[in-house]
Structure 1
Amino acid sequence: MTKDIDTIISLEHFLPYQLYVTSNNLSGFFSDAYKDKFALSITQWRIMAVLREIPDSSADEVSLKTHIEKSILSRAISKLLQRNLIQRVFSQQDKRRSMLSLTSTGIDVYNDIVPLSVQYEKDILNCFSESEKNQFSTLLNTLYQHTEKLKNTP
């Protein structure tokens, strides 16, 4: 028996859908720029950004910071290693543990990307006033923190 529900969801006004589509749009624009100019995926760029911010990070630490699934992260790390954009150093105490960091080539590529990324962010946010940008950032951070709590609640 089908239960009749009075509520009809309009996807265009449904927050999870709006965030999903917006995220896809932003990722698509960014992905094209990274792929065309630097032959990098968004995942690879995010790994590089973390390693520039927090050098000598383990893959697990990068995964936690980026929210990238470990199998996807592992493939991206392999490609970055092959291109000599990052390096892996194994711990002397525990050979199973390794630390990742950007190579000098990786730092050069990172430094080439950052101005484009900053400009890209400015272009995206130019539809907001300064006050709205601050408010949007605060609201987005609040929503992020709340969803992290919900995700970790049984």
Structure 2
Amino acid sequence: MKTPKRPQELELAIPFLLTRAGGRMGNAFAKALKPFGLGLSEWRVCASLLYVPRQTLSELSVHATSDISALSRIIDRLEDQDLVKRERSATDGRSIRIALTEKGEELAQSIVPIAKRHEAVVLRDFDATDVQALRAMLLKVYENAEALDDLL
């Protein structure tokens, strides 16, 4: 008979900790987005386009962490709100790029300070070196997670 695992083991598991921390931050930020008429998924798209304009759906799916089918529906909703537009690529007439409209850029710019304030709150007890190390580690975790696709 196997010995049951202790709850502490779960609470030390990195995926559990990442999901729990991300969930708490996401829930709080989702509340802050409500007055703007956006959810987290819509915000990720707008923020991605603010920092990297005119992306293809494939590029945007990586930056906004959304699969292409869900992303298409998000783009439709944002387009209905006149926050994004679809554009034909100047170099490849078959390729569509997604861009913020002027209204979308203004909205995204107005939310950035709120996002930065939320980040500042969760990082308040970290010094600059810790924040830099945390960012580097999270980027490495993300990069290493690509190998998980090969396990399936």
Aligned residues: 149
- Percent of residue pairs bearing the same amino acid type: 26
Aligned to 1:100: 98
Deviation at 1:9, TM superposition (A): 4.5
Aligned to 1:69: 67
What are the within-5 Å matches in structure 2 for residues 18-97 of structure 1? 18-35=17-34, 37-91=35-89, 94-95=93-94, 97=95
Aligned to 2:2: 5
TM-score (normalizing by structure 2): 0.87
Q: Kindly provide the amino acid, as one letter, of the partner of residue 12 in structure 1.
A: E
Aligned to 1:16: 15
Q: Which moved more, 1:143-152 or 1:19-28?
A: 143-152
Please list every run of 5 or more consecutive structure 2 residues that lacks an aligned counterpart in the other structure: none
Shift in alpha-carbon separation, 1:125–1:102, aligned structure 2, 3 A:
same
Query: Is the partner of 1:52 in helix, strand or coil?
Result: helix
TM-superposition CA deviations, 1:48-101 (whole Å, max 9, x none): 112122222111221122220222211111110000001112347545x31110
Please list every run of 5 or more consecutive structure 1 residues that lacks an aligned counterpart in the other structure: none
Query: Is the partner of 2:97 in helix, strand or coil?
Result: strand
TM-superposition CA deviations, 1:124-147 (whole Å, max 9, x none): 100212222122222222222111
Give the superposed CA RMSD.
1.9
RCO comparison, higher one (Cα < 8 Å, 6+)? 2
TM-score (normalizing by structure 1): 0.86
TM-superposition CA deviations, 1:10-32 (whole Å, max 9, x none): 22222221211111101101111
C-alpha separation between the residues in 2 aligned to 1:12 and 1:111? 36
